[in-house]
Chains A and B, each alone.
Chain A
Amino acid sequence: MKIPYPVPVKRTEDTPKWLPVVTSVGAVLLAFIISALILAATGADPFKVFSYMYKASFGSWGALSDVIVKATPLMLIGLGCSLAFRMRLWNIGAEGQFFVGAFMAAAVVMVPLVDLETTPAWVIISLMAVLGMLGGALYAFIAGVLKAKLNINEIIITLMLNYIAVLWNNYWIFGKWSEAGFQMTKTFPKVAWLPRLADFAKQVPAFSGITLHVGILFGLISAVIVYLIIYRSKWGYKITLIGDNRRAARYAGINITANTILVFMISGALAGLAGMTEVSGVVHRLQERISTSYGFSGVIVAWLAKLHPFAVIVVSILFGALLVASREIQPSGISFLIQGITLFLVISSDVLLKYQIKWVRPAKESAQ
């Protein structure tokens, strides 16, 4: 029997608006199904595992707060990546920008840049946030300039810069800022902590032990700003135009060099801010393992959200839940397995947006 020819896919001309949503949700569901099969194959009961994972992440206010805390850096990094990816700048360096942001924020306390005794907390925290963003932005600037001026592959550059940033941090936490020889700095004084709900336990007893900090507000505000940039501003139009056709943008008189550098820096600033929220809001010190590869998960978040800033919020919370659940189940790799399968399927599902599968009956003569 002959294989039907031509190939049974056809390019679709019109993509209905609901289709991307359906394929994304479908891809996530399929990822869970495949993970369930793998779990079943290893002898576990997938339903038990999933219900346990659900309980671990959404089962209580405390768990939910943990999820949002984990989602905060993912959200900020995802937003930065969304902006850069819209211009087809593949910034894979969020991890490094995150670490430099964390380092700069820590420097405020560790150097110290201000008098920690007398300066009001809001000034210290603002300074940490601004320096965190600046650090991330400047770090991304390196890749941006190389890309814009010399057209050096930004994927390679940003990827390599990640290692440099991690090692740079290590230098400080192993050496100069080391706390009694441990690979971490001393705990920051309270004035350098982002306010948490737990801080208000005296007024509202229910908040006791809730670790949710104001970093999530940074994430939400950033999402709104990124939304306004992309969908409402002239600059967003330029970014979209450059992303769709660089040569057309150049022809239209848009300065591609400047915009490349600028977008890189904003993307880096958001990752830097994520680093700041992590040291100031969660661990309260600079240490080796402040990131569970947020920088890379953020890339996945941006893709899953199809680069839409509001979808980034939803997806980062979903990923935060997976991260929290991974602490509770053994082996903890299951969550990452689901993450990986999800990304794989979401990216593959794009094919369904561009092509229709349609079996074409072979022409008569081939049947003879």
Chain B
Amino acid sequence: MTFYEETNTVPAVEMQDIVLRFPGVLANDHVNFTLYPGEIHALLGENGAGKSTLMNALMGLYRPESGEIRIHGERVSFNSPRDAIAAGIGMVHQHFMLVENQTVTENILIGLDLPRFALNLKKYDQEISSLAEQFGIHIDPTARIWQLSVGEQQRVEILKILYRGADILIMDEPTAVLAPQEADELIATLKGMAAQGKSIAFISHKLNEVKQVADKLTVLRRGRVTAERINLQGFTRESLASLMVGREVIFNLHKSEQTAGREVMRLEDISALNNKNLPALRNVNLDLHEGEILGIAGVAGNGQSELVEVITGLRPCSGRIWLEGKDIANKPPSFSINQGLAHIPEDRIGVGSAPNLSLTSNIIMKRYDQQPVSKKWQLNYLAADKLAGGLKTEYDIQAPDVHTQARKLSGGNLQKLILARELSSTPRLVVAMQPTRGLDVGAIENVQQLLLNQRTQGCAILLVSEDLDELLSLSDRIAVMYEGRIVGILDSRDFDITQIGLMMTGTLPQRLPGTANPEETTCEGSSSNPDDILEDHSHYQEPAQPEPTQVEESLSVNEEPIQESLLSELPNLPEEPPLNLTEKERVLRKVLGEKYKQGDQE
């Protein structure tokens, strides 16, 4: 990595003594941040540590109360992002700002004064192609946004900034939405851009990737800098974490050794459509036992949300869902709630809570019908407050009192509230979707331990997560979803992050540790080298090379006919005409992108 020596170069960005205040919060307390040309400088911190706030100040979205900002040595004062863009600063937000139905080129040109009149798209397509090439970004400028995967959409955002001539890039938690391989690709791209002299501020709360990507590191904690411009050598994951949260974080949760009990839930041949009426689930079969955590891995938009909605009664489906001996498929949500189903939804604010109602009202959401909260037609608010107060203490929900509105709780406390409501009802099955997304390290640990406690108590847990580390540390089995199918189920002793990563991107399971009888192998598209498959999808078309796989063995946990049905699923995947890499990939991404961008159901 080449970056200019600090001593003889003017910093690209110099932020000094930045103070920013929101009602009741000191978001940035005399923060310094310096970024030199050609370097990647990571900003590490928990949620609410002030990382994004600081960068938004740099983008002109907030104006600091005091402090100085210099860009290439010149003092600036931005009134809006427009000023920041003019000064060569660009930001890739967590949520992309792209027009779905327009092409890559059109999206990049939006908001520019040029072209003034006639739009010669071809000319701009070429311009963007060559710009992308310069920075090693692979993108088809004529593709429409909805056809692209999340990773590709992010590349469009980056190109948008580069096209505007930015030499300072702010990346706000760019890997949060990406699959592991896509994240690696992004990191390579960023390093390439830095090598060409671009300066990159990289916001993150993931220790691993910060170690991987950054040249320099600044750590924020509660609005203050706890480490400024440190070099990453000599810092362990643990020491960085303690700088970030101010205490030693235990990374290993206590997970008891136990064997799964009897079956609690079984999905039989579940298929469902997404909000655009396209197939989202294709003949899914799964089973889940007492005291077991079944992890669902997959890149966002491969049917996980639909799977959860189908189980919780929020989406119609075909097939059957047995929960404690009753078929809950296509039954109203109240039916499965009474059958002992608890649901920790992905969208805590939009689905999991009523933001303007009190903590009490949110706690009794699923038990307003039960004693002592209600008596005949009446609702006893005193009893409800008492119940809420008890749970507030038990689950350590930080709020002034039980009358506090849910929207005033922080993300972690809101999640605690939801967990308190869902877990205190002694459920038989917990369906948890992204239960720790967006939470800080302390809260993550808390939530994960609560889930493990439920497991110890014999509850069955379906854990859908995009965080592979979380799945690996919590799950007893992991099922990988791709394009609405379960492409494989791995047992905890066979967990392998590369393997799961490959399966998540649509590569069939093979070359797994352990051997099985080759005759049983039905994966026609197996290749001996998974890297080849990643590089070239045409391998799917190769004649079967019988290769011992682990699929059977991992599936043998369930002695159900699911085995056959699952295996018969597998050969269906590659039955597509041979295409070259980019076209094939585009087709895949098209489906992927479709599913990823689901609208609100209402």
Contact = CB atoms under 8 A, between A and B. Distances in A.
B354 A248 contact: yes
A10 interface: yes
Contacts of A175: none
B117 interface: no
Contacts of B374: 234
Nearest first, the 9 closest Cβ-Cβ pairs linking A and B are A253-B334, A244-B354, A365-B77, A252-B365, A253-B333, A245-B354, A253-B337, A234-B379, A247-B351
Contact of B333 (A11, A232, A245, A251): A251
Interface stretch (A39-47, A235-243, A293-301): A235-243
Interface in A317-368: 363-366
21 contacts: A5-B79, A13-B23, A13-B408, A233-B378, A234-B368, A234-B377, A234-B379, A237-B361, A240-B361, A241-B365, A245-B355, A247-B350, A247-B602, A248-B350, A248-B365, A251-B333, A252-B333, A252-B365, A254-B334, A363-B63, A366-B79
Interface in B339-370: 343, 345, 347, 350-357, 361, 364-366, 368-369
B577 interface: no
Given A245-B351, A248-B351, A252-B337, 8 more contacts: A10-B23, A244-B357, A245-B353, A248-B353, A248-B365, A250-B333, A255-B334, A363-B65
A6 interface: yes
B602 A246 contact: yes
B379 A232 contact: yes
The interface residues of chain B, by DSSP majority, are classed as loop
Contacts of A255: 332, 334
B62 A6 contact: yes
Contact of A240 (B65, B357, B602): B357
A208 interface: no
B82 to A, nearest CB: 13
A251 B332 CA distance: 10
B18 to A, nearest CB: 11
Contacts of B68: 365
Nearest to A361: B65
A12 B351 contact: no
B107 interface: no
Contacts of B94: none
Contact of B356 (A13, A244, A252): A244
A240 B334 CA distance: 18
B75 interface: yes
A232 B408 CA distance: 25
B198 to A, nearest CB: 27
Contacts of B379: 232-234, 236-237
A234 B375 CA distance: 9
B62 A251 contact: no
B270 to A, nearest CB: 20
Nearest to A367: B77
A245 B408 contact: no
- Interface bracket on B: 35 or more
A252 B602 CA distance: 16
A250 B309 CA distance: 12
B162 to A, nearest CB: 28
Interface in B544-602: 601-602
Contacts of A240: 357, 361
Interface residues of A, number: 31
B314 interface: yes
A6 B68 CA distance: 17
Contacts of B63: 5-6, 363
B312 interface: yes
B71 to A, nearest CB: 13
A10 B601 CA distance: 32
B258 interface: no
Residue with the greatest number of chain A CB neighbours at <10 A, chosen from B314, B357, B365, B374? B365
Contacts of B351: 245, 247-248, 251
A13 B24 contact: yes
A251 B343 contact: yes
B75 A365 contact: yes
A31 to B, nearest CB: 27
Given A6-B63, A234-B377, A248-B351, A253 B357 contact: no
A244 to B, nearest CB: 4
A65 to B, nearest CB: 36
Nearest to A235: B377
B64 A363 contact: yes
A357 to B, nearest CB: 13
Contacts of B602: 246-247
Contacts of A5: 63, 79
B66 interface: yes
Interface in B300-348: 312, 314, 332-335, 337, 343, 345, 347
Contacts of A6: 62-63
Contact of B352 (A244, A248, A253): A248
A13 B399 CA distance: 13
Contacts of A249: 354
Given A245-B350, A251-B343, A366 B357 contact: no
Nearest to B407: A13
Contacts of B368: 234, 237-238
Contacts of B355: 244-245
A66 to B, nearest CB: 38
A96 B602 CA distance: 28
Nearest to B365: A252
B366 A252 contact: yes
B332 A363 contact: no
Contact of A241 (B347, B352, B357): B357
Nearest to A254: B334
Given A238-B368, A252-B333, A247 B601 contact: yes
B365 to A, nearest CB: 4
A93 to B, nearest CB: 22
Residue with the greatest number of chain B CB neighbours at <10 A, chosen from A249, A364, A365, A366? A365
Interface string B22-65: 01100000000000000000000000000000000000001111
A363 to B, nearest CB: 6
B312 A251 contact: yes
Contacts of A238: 368
Given A245-B350, A251-B333, A11 B23 contact: yes
A292 B377 CA distance: 37
Interface in A155-205: none
A238 B366 CA distance: 11
B77 A366 contact: yes
B66 A241 contact: no
Nearest to A238: B368
Residue with the greatest number of chain B CB neighbours at <10 A, chosen from A6, A236, A238, A248? A248
Contact of A251 (B24, B352, B356, B364): B352
A6 B64 CA distance: 10
Contacts of B314: 250-251
Nearest to A363: B63
B206 to A, nearest CB: 30
Contacts of A12: 23
A265 B355 CA distance: 27
Contacts of B65: 363
A283 B343 CA distance: 57
Interface string A220-241: 0000000000001111111011
